[in-house]
Amino acid sequence: MKSYMNAIGTANPPHRISQTDIAQFMAGATQLDEREKRKLSVLYRTTGIQYRHTVLADYQNDPEDYTFYPNTPDLEPFPTIGPRMDLYRQYALPLSMEAVKNCAEMYPGFQFSKVTHLITVSCTGMYAPGIDIELIEQLNMPTSVQRTAINFMGCYGAFNGLKAADAICRSNPDACVLVVCVELCTIHFQKKKTEDHLLANSLFADGAAAVIVEGQPGPVISVSMESFYCDLALAGKKEMTWDISNFGFEMTLSSYIPDLIKGGIRQLTDQLLRKMKTRIRDIDLFAIHPGGRRILEVIEEQLGMEREDNRYAYRVLKEYGNMSSPTVLFVLKELWKDLRVGDAGKNILSFAFGPGLTMESMVLQVWHGD
């Protein structure tokens, strides 16, 4: 028994802002002096990010045109958790709907009435009745759809959604699982000057992705989920954290993360491939979560990859930044666009990372309906 990803859809909010403009906002919001501004500018230039998307136009507007943050020099009174969750409730559903509809467009003849299970993934907001129930209502799915919510797992959350979908389809070949990841990272901006906060503010963005998973391959191109493996680098437990504070969800992101991944990525890969009785040389394509430019570089160093092997991750990082859980699905969608009939049978290696320090991995295989 196997499970198959038969379609992937993605979506972003309308405000596409250059990394340069975001740096200017951040410098003003955190009231940096000239030396600190120069340092921040260097940090933003080295991220490998050119644009990010956000639900908030404030990041590119003049202060007098702010709609969420106060138009005071220090952004006081700084928004508390309540108004930020109001933003999530306002924008998460429309963004998710756009991703789901984009997903359905990839699947000729797909009907939402056939969905049996819905898995929602998010770490940037929550409410009840939640986005899962709203999706069922908006898409006219059966009210008997079985729902699972995966919350607060960070950038690797999509892997947990896919593993749950895989288990469902392996146990029930007639199941049709819709996985939806949505994150509004930019509503949780923190105006602290610490290195960890400045780094987090330079990376994160908003986006959503949806996947249809079934027990049989779809009519065109599909990707089977062959194997998963997860491990923890507990030495990094304090280096990446995600906490709920009075002023939103607060990310701690250490510059040591790439070194921790560097120390564990080879063992993680070996354990995953050993389960499949295969080797790294049997991997044809890569879909790696671009948690940051340096993370991609250390993985290349450890696995003997060329930068071209990571082209899909760099493309997503450049155009969208790090959107947390949907990001790896954006990478896979970019890869998917290039798949052809002759790619059937090729193996795809995928990674994502998050608090813990959690390292998730999976091997996928390309299938073609013809």
Q: Please write the tens of the pLDDT for every residue from 148-191.
A: 999 999 999 999 999 999 999 999 999 999 999 999 999 999 98
Look at residue 298 and tell me if it is in a domain.
yes
CB distance 96 to 135 below 8 Å = yes
- What residues contact residue 151 under an 8 Å CB cut-off, 6+ apart? 121, 122, 123, 126
The more confidently predicted of residues 101 and 270 is 101
Q: How far is CA 291 from CA 48, 136, 296, 323, 354, in A?
A: 11, 31, 8, 9, 9
In a domain, 199, yes or no: no
Q: How confident is the model at residue 258 (pLDDT cuts 50, 70, 90)?
A: confident
pLDDT of residue 249: 87
For residue 280, is pLDDT > 80?
Answer: yes
Q: Specify if 307 maps to a domain.
A: yes
What span, in angstroms and rounded, lies between the C-alpha atoms of 179 and 186?
Answer: 22
- CATH number of the domain bearing residue 331: 3.40.47.10
In a domain, 229, yes or no: yes
- Give the pLDDT confidence score for residue 210 in this predicted structure: 98
The strand pairing partners of 207, in sequence order, are 183
Burial class (CB in 10 A: 0-12, 13-18, 19+), 340: exposed
pLDDT at 307 over 80: yes
pLDDT band at 286 (very low <50, low <70, confident <90, very high): very high
The residue range of the domain holding 349 is 221-368
Q: Locate tokens 């249809």: which residue?
A: 212
Cis peptide upstream of residue 129 (ω within 30 degrees of 0)? yes
Instruction: Report pLDDT for 273.
Output: 87
**For the chain, what is the domain count?**
1
pLDDT at 196: 82
For the cut 90, the answer to whether the pLDDT of residue 211 exceeds it is yes
The pLDDT mean for the chain works out to: 93
Quickly state the pLDDT bin for 364 (edges 50, 70, 90). Answer: very high
Of 328, 341, 338, 331, the C-alpha closest to 368 is: 341
Question: Could you give the CA distance from residue 110 to residue 140 in angstroms, rounded to a whole number?
Answer: 13
C-alpha dihedral sign at 143, 147, 151, 155? negative
Residue 132 lies in a domain: no
Q: Does 236 fall in a domain?
A: yes
**What integer pLDDT is reported at residue 151 of this predicted model?**
95
* Within a domain: 247: yes
Residue 37, in any domain of the structure: no
pLDDT band at 370 (very low <50, low <70, confident <90, very high): low
How many Å apart are CA 46 and CA 49, to the nearest integer? 8
Q: 152: phi > 0 → left, psi -120 to 50 → alpha, else beta; which?
A: left
Q: Does residue 232 surpass a pLDDT of 90? A: no
